[in-house]
Structure 1
Amino acid sequence: MNSELVKGLFSRRSSATEALIAANAGKALNFEDPYDNLYAFGKIWGSYDAPVLSGFHGLMYARIGARRLVPLFGYTGTGCMQSKVDQDGNVWIRGKETGYFTDLATGDILETWKNPWTGKTVEVFNFYNPAMGGKLTAEMPRFAMGAARDDATLMNDGTHRHASGSGTSGTVPFILPFETYGDDLMLAWDYAHEYTNPVTPEGWPEASTGPRISPSEHFTFCMSLAEMRDRSVPTSRFVAGFSRLSQWWPWMRMGGHELAESGVVFGRIFSHKGLKGTGDIPPKVLAYIETHAPNYLTVPDDWPNVTPHGTWEAFANQVPPETPGYRR
């Protein structure tokens, strides 16, 4: 990463956010208050000062019935995130992210991979998200993925709280399931989707595992309670466990195989943020990004308000359909 880019990345300021945080300086953090939870969430994922870089790295396995898990490849990547608080107390987050698949033996980023079930060598689809983020309010977000008829996903379903008298279908306040043990502040953050597969069997018969997909991701953050409570500190260092479950990745080309709908891909991953500069990014990943995608070490110029965009959506948008003349 060249010195000018580093200097520019870590010298930006958000004056409105600084002013609002300064006005709240000395105010105790109340984890029963949705707006304080919003503040904490923005401090975890990003920074209220200059953008901050994070990294993740781990391993993915295949689970087929009752068989022993099969190691597939490494999974690694980055995030570059920044947060701000608006005049209504809502939190805005903006950023970019990457996701790469790596060789089990060398840790090198894969361009191709030999599928042990089909015997075919396939092109790996590494993931780039150029604009992620949006506005978070005092209500727990629901993200609409897939087709219009699909139900939106409620974040942290299972640990959220419903507003008094609202039953199971009413408004859910943005109160997170924080736990404290001494100075350890812990947070579980989950989403579990089910929606129409953008990589349709009709358009991509080899890449599609079927008409529906159900990817989920699960985080367990650990931070310093004292650092989180200190509003003069713009970001919280965290170390997190990150796991995910899904159907086969579309680039694995398992469509039409007898295991197409029964296989599960499981990932166990470290995630961390808060070291200076690029300190949280694995060296091989940093070298690859600096060569191939250096703009992913910065945030977007604007503050996008977009629906989450995953690998299946990116694959369907970027990889031409296998079926000639197919149009969604």
Structure 2
Amino acid sequence: MVRSLLLAGCAFGMAAMTTAADARILDPAKAEDALEIGKRTQCGIGDQPAVMHWSGKIYARVQGEPDRHLFDGEGMNIRRCVPVSDPKRGEGYRMVSREIMLFTDPRTGAILREWKNPWTGETVEVMHIANDPVNMRPNFPLDADGKPVPPMTLKRMGEWVLMPLEVPLFYPNPLAGAYQDYVGNQYHAMEIFDFVARADELLDTRHPTAYPAVSWVRLSDWMPWMKMGGRQGQIVFNAMGAKLKSYDELPKLLKDEIAASYPDYTAAPPADDQRPNATTWTEFKKKIDTERAARGPAAAQPAGHP
């Protein structure tokens, strides 16, 4: 879900120590201020990590069928921001993060370990979303040509600032072969983030950061662990959440599962993390490849392979 942030250095520390005499109102039409607004939306104070939490419902959409409420979801992202510098693009920041989303039973709220696929009748193991890392490219006030980055989309409504962000995704599916340009199977999704923040927190530098609420919608292919094969349809996530003031504010369900199964997710990745990003699809491929390797050479071949 939401992308990773990097840990701070002196530049962030100075921003967090703004005095009343130095305070000002940020102008989103100015490239440097727009960058600061983005940082205040996503990052923690100084070198402290930031935690995003969200929860919501997950539906199946299949042509010719009513939509089905398959799961509920409970998720978090822990990130940090570090300053970066470029001779042409100026002073910016980069974000590094990890994120988890648990699939839960809509009736009981319990974390699902197995799920009976209503289309195939097969019971499959549930693989929760646990992506480490989810890092962003550096953000700067200037583009590669040294020109100001276009102003961010903000809408002021009284004491609130609205920040919509649509992220269309279309790239080779890690679970498919090398001929996707010819036969399809690219990963195709859209993620929509709508942030809402108090204007005074977001724009007045007397506040060291902001704590926005966020709506998250994702339309994507089926989760690979659902074992849907080539069946037509997609999965729709609809969740709401907020940036929290500490990890301790997460729901007990999430904290208990992280402690038991994902202990690294109590902290953000290191500031200099250069690992390639993880997705559900890359992590599922690793899982399947490991299981096949453990079963021996014959298991490495797909069913029906000559």
Q: Same fold (TM over 0.5)?
A: yes
Match of 1:146 in 2: none
Q: 2:263 aligns with which of 277, 294, 298?
A: 294
Question: How far apart, in 1, do the equivalents of 2:264 and 2:241 lie?
Answer: 21
Q: In the TM superposition, what is the alpha-carbon distance from 1:57 to its structure 2 partner?
A: 0.9
Q: In the TM superposition, what is the alpha-carbon distance from 1:45 to its structure 2 partner?
A: 1.6
Structure 2 portions without partners, runs of 5+: 1-6, 293-297
User: Would you say 1:218 and 2:185 are equivalent positions?
Assistant: no
Q: In the TM superposition, what is the alpha-carbon distance from 1:35 to its structure 2 partner?
A: 2.5
Q: What is the correspondence of 1:25-64 to structure 2 with a 5 Å cutoff?
A: 25-49=22-46, 50-64=48-62
Question: How far apart, in 2, do the equivalents of 1:173 and 1:64 lie?
Answer: 40
> Structure 2 length as normaliser, TM-score?
0.80
Contact 2:50–2:243 at 8 Å: present in 1 too? yes
Q: 1:179 aligns with which of 139, 152, 155?
A: 155
Match of 1:278 in 2: 248
Question: How far apart, in 1, do the equivalents of 2:143 and 2:192 lie?
Answer: 16
Q: In the TM superposition, what is the alpha-carbon distance from 1:294 to its structure 2 partner?
A: 2.6
Contact 2:133–2:276 at 8 Å: present in 1 too? no
Of 316-325 and 96-105, deviating more is 316-325
CA distances 1:81-124 after superposition (whole Å, capped 9, x unpaired): 22233453211212221122111112222111110000000111
Match of 2:14 in 1: 19
Contact 2:15–2:208 at 8 Å: present in 1 too? no
User: Would you say 1:228 and 2:202 are equivalent positions?
Assistant: yes
Q: 1:303 aligns with which of 272, 296, 299?
A: 272
Contact 1:200–1:210 at 8 Å: present in 2 too? no
Check 1:200–1:324 CA distance in 2 against 1; reply closer, same or farther (3 A cut): farther
> Structure 1 length as normaliser, TM-score?
0.75
CA distances 1:219-247 after superposition (whole Å, capped 9, x unpaired): 11110110112324333111111111011
Q: In the TM superposition, what is the alpha-carbon distance from 1:265 to its structure 2 partner?
A: 0.7
Give the RMSD, CA atoms, in angstroms. 3.0
Check 1:234–1:317 CA distance in 2 against 1; reply closer, same or farther (3 A cut): farther
Contact 1:201–1:210 at 8 Å: present in 2 too? no
User: 1:136 corresponds to which letter in structure 2?
Assistant: N
Match of 1:268 in 2: 238
Q: In the TM superposition, what is the alpha-carbon distance from 1:303 to its structure 2 partner?
A: 3.1
Q: In the TM superposition, what is the alpha-carbon distance from 1:28 to its structure 2 partner?
A: 3.2
Match of 1:107 in 2: 109
Larger helix proportion of the pair: 2
Question: How far apart, in 1, do the equivalents of 2:288 and 2:75 lie?
Answer: 21
Question: How far apart, in 1, do the equivalents of 2:82 and 2:204 lie?
Answer: 16
Q: In the TM superposition, what is the alpha-carbon distance from 1:51 to its structure 2 partner?
A: 0.9
SS of 1:303's equivalent? coil
Q: 2:141 aligns with which of 120, 138, 143?
A: 138
Contact 1:53–1:278 at 8 Å: present in 2 too? no
Question: How far apart, in 2, do the equivalents of 1:312 and 1:253 lie?
Answer: 12
Question: How far apart, in 2, do the equivalents of 1:194 and 1:38 lie?
Answer: 26
Q: In the TM superposition, what is the alpha-carbon distance from 1:132 to its structure 2 partner?
A: 2.7
Check 1:116–1:250 CA distance in 2 against 1; reply closer, same or farther (3 A cut): same
